């Protein structure tokens, strides 16, 4: 929500909860992940990756306005009416928040709201590899969590930030659009800045960042070269920096980063990235078969081993997958290895694993105990 006006006053009668809270509470009760409002159909909720109808009536333009406008501030409402889209967050009680996007489509107002639980799950509840805790214990460098929308990136980073908050005396500063998980000060101090509420835009937030004496920084989603440049500068100067990126695997992450810059700047960016990167965690959220684990992440992890740094510096992204396989003893793993473990530990069905496998034949071989050679990458 770049360059949105600064306003903290919500146009809401707090003596009576807004009507939309009934829908939000229904999402929470159903343990759903998303709520969708669109003209002409009843509200829909997403449960275990599938959209399902509610028992409500088909929505009209007037009804959506009645639901959505009361939870916006006046400035937010005017921004939406002028620009056709708005991102913000809304809290239900003390433990649940919704990340909301209101947008126009075919001249009608629609809304998509992602539920963000106020309960920050520990690593064990997320079923991430133990090395994620070791990564979070880093004291400097850049850590990226990547994946498609809805892959659990924000939850994984929130768990890593909470791990630091519980174990390290430091100052954590987050710059978010909007704030998703609320962190309570524990061993650390956590300062959370929301774009459009606490600071007008990312540029202003990043310019003032170093004056706030941070040890750990979360820049949210890395959307452009200015954000990435600021993140790498902070990492170069001894800070631990977290960010998210939309990319499907670790090798693609490197290319996505380079694509943010003009051609003449890419060599410097490549070398800086090779020096500052500590880990890339790429994940996809898959349907599970255990009743107590309905969704579970398949995770690829790249660490900053000497081989990985050299491959990045030498423009050899194509050899990154082999380096990840070679580094499994250090905590690295590729998607094939992650899928193999999830199948063998009976978290996911074999058909699901084959559907999401980057290489079906390679996964079949891995399930038979055969892995391709990683020799010759140097």
On average, the pLDDT of the chain sits at: 91
Per-residue pLDDT, averaged over 352-361, amounts to 96
Report the distance separating Cα 45 and Cα 24, nearest Å.
10
Query: Which pLDDT band, with edges at 50, 70 and 90, does 373 fall under?
Result: low
Q: Percent of the chain, pLDDT > 90? A: 78
Query: Which pLDDT band, with edges at 50, 70 and 90, does 181 fall under?
Result: confident
Query: Which pLDDT band, with edges at 50, 70 and 90, does 378 fall under?
Result: low
CA 114 to chain centre: 12
Q: Report which of 145, 143, 137, 131 is spatially closest to residue 234, judged by C-alpha positions.
A: 143
Residue 107 Ramachandran class (φ > 0 left, ψ -120 to 50 alpha, else beta): left
Q: Which phi and psi (to 5°) does residue 272 adopt?
A: -65, -40
Report the distance separating Cα 38 and Cα 68, nearest Å.
12
**346 in Cβ contact with 294 (< 8 Å):** no
The residues, ordered by sequence, that sit 6+ positions from 325 with a Cβ below 8 Å of its Cβ are 332, 334, 337, 371, 372, 374
- 3 compared with 209, residue with greater pLDDT: 209
What predicted TM-score, i.e. pTM, was given to this entire model? Answer: 0.83
- Kindly report the three-state secondary structure assignment for every residue of the chain: CCCCCCCCCECCCCCCCCCHHHHHHHHHHCCCCEEEECECCCCEEEECCEEEECCCCCECHHHHHHHHHHHCEHHHHHHHHHHCEEEEEEEECCCEEEEEEEEEECCEEEEEEEEEECCCCCHHHHCCCCHHHHHHCCCCEEEEEECCCCCCHHHHHHHHHHHHHHHCCCEEEEEECCCCCCCCCCCCEEEEEEECCCECCHHHHHHHHHHHCCCEEEEEECCCHHHHHHHHHHHHCCCEEEEEECCCCHHHHHHHHHHCCCHHHHHHHHHHHHHHEEEEEEEEEEEEEECCEEEEEEEEEEECCHHHHHHHHCCCHHHHHHHHHHCHHHCCECHHHHHHHHHHCCCCCHHHHHHHCCCHHHHHHHHCCCCCCCCCCC
Report the distance separating Cα 314 and Cα 163, nearest Å.
34
Q: With 90 as the cut, is the pLDDT of residue 320 above it?
A: yes
Per-residue pLDDT, averaged over 130-157, amounts to 95
Per-residue pLDDT, averaged over 25-53, amounts to 92
Q: With 60 as the cut, is the pLDDT of residue 11 above it?
A: no
Report the distance separating Cα 307 and Cα 137, nearest Å.
22
Per-residue pLDDT, averaged over 161-185, amounts to 93
Domains of the chain with bracketed CATH: 20-117 (3.30.450.90), 123-367 (3.40.50.300)
Whether the upstream peptide bond of residue 178 has omega within 30° of 0, thus cis, is: yes
Tokens representing residue 250 in the block:
């670790």
pLDDT at residue number 8: 32
């Amino acid at each position: 929500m770049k360059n949105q006006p600064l306003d903290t006053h919500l146009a809401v009668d707090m003596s009576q909860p807004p009507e939309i809270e009934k829908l939000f509470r229904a999402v929470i009760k159903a343990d759903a992940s998303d709520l969708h409002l669109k003209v002409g159909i009843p509200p829909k909720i997403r449960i275990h990756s599938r959209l399902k109808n509610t028992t409500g009536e088909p929505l009209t333009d007037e009804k959506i306005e009645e639901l959505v406008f009361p939870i916006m501030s006046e400035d937010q409402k005017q921004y939406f009416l002028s620009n056709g889209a708005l991102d913000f967050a809304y809290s239900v009680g003390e433990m649940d928040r919704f990340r909301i996007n209101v947008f126009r489509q075919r001249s009608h107002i629609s809304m998509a709201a992602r539920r963000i639980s106020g309960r920050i799950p520990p690593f064990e509840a997320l079923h991430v590899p133990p090395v994620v805790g070791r990564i979070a214990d880093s004291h400097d460098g850049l850590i990226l969590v990547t994946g498609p929308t809805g892959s659990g990136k924000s939850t994984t980073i929130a768990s890593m930030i909470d791990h630091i908050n519980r174990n390290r005396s430091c100052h954590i500063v987050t710059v978010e659009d909007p704030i998703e998980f609320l962190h309570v000060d524990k061993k650390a101090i956590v300062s959370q800045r929301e774009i459009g509420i606490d600071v007008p835009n990312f540029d202003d937030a990043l310019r003032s960042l170093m004056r706030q004496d941070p040890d750990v920084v979360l820049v949210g989603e890395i959307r452009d070269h200015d954000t990435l440049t600021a993140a790498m500068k902070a990492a170069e100067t001894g800070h631990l920096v977290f960010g998210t990126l939309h990319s499907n695997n670790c090798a693609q992450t490197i290319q996505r980063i380079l694509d943010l810059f003009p051609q003449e700047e890419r060599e410097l960016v490549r070398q800086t990235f090779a020096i500052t990167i500590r880990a890339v965690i790429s994940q996809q959220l898959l349907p599970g078969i255990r009743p107590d684990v309905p969704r579970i992440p398949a995770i690829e992890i790249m660490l900053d081993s000497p081989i990985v740094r050299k491959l990045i510096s030498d423009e050899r992204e194509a050899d990154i997958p082999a380096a990840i396989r070679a580094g499994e003893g250090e905590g690295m793993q590729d998607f094939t290895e992650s899928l193999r473990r999830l199948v063998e530990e009976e978290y996911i069905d074999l058909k699901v694993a084959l559907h999401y496998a980057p290489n079906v034949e390679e996964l079949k071989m891995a399930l038979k105990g055969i892995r391709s050679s990683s020799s010759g990458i140097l």
